[in-house]
Amino acid sequence: MANLDYPYHFDGRGRTASTGDNAHIRDLIEQVLFTAPGERVNRPDFGSGLMQLVFAPNSDELAAATQFLVQGALQQWLGDLIEVEAVEVLNEDSTLRVTVQYSVRRTDERQTAQFTRGGGL
């Protein structure tokens, strides 16, 4: 099944780009991770607030809290599509690196996705 690709763009034929199911789920995870609560007008609770932590001081407590924050947001917004198995969040300098291990509920297929964002983005 084809889904809209994220970020929105056009394909080589000038049509809206589409993607397969696994890539679409990865796109959805990226949207949850890097959308700040309050950013979406009709869904003010959507997102994880993860980007606020890019400039926070590093500590073991912050890393643990961030992992719980991310896992909770993914369960809340994508719990019907995926089962989150592990989340690893690394905050180095002004770069945030998130690795999510999950299984797709419909196919029971295990996936790992890594996302990186810099402080200036």
Percent of the chain with pLDDT over 70: 90
80 CB-near residues (< 8 Å, 6+ apart): 105
Percent of the chain with pLDDT over 90: 48
Task: Dump pLDDT digits (tens) for 22-73.
Answer: 999 999 999 999 899 999 999 999 998 887 776 667 677 777 788 888 999 9
| Entry pTM | 0.83
AA identity, residue 17: A
For residue 9, is it left (φ>0), alpha (ψ between -120 and 50) or beta? beta
d(CA 69, CA 24): 22
Report yes or no: 45 and 36 within 8 Å, Cβ to Cβ: no
> Would you state the structure tokens that stand for residue 81, as one six-digit string?
């599509």
Domains of the chain, earliest start first? 3-118 (3.10.450.40)
Instruction: Write down the pLDDT at residue 101.
Output: 97
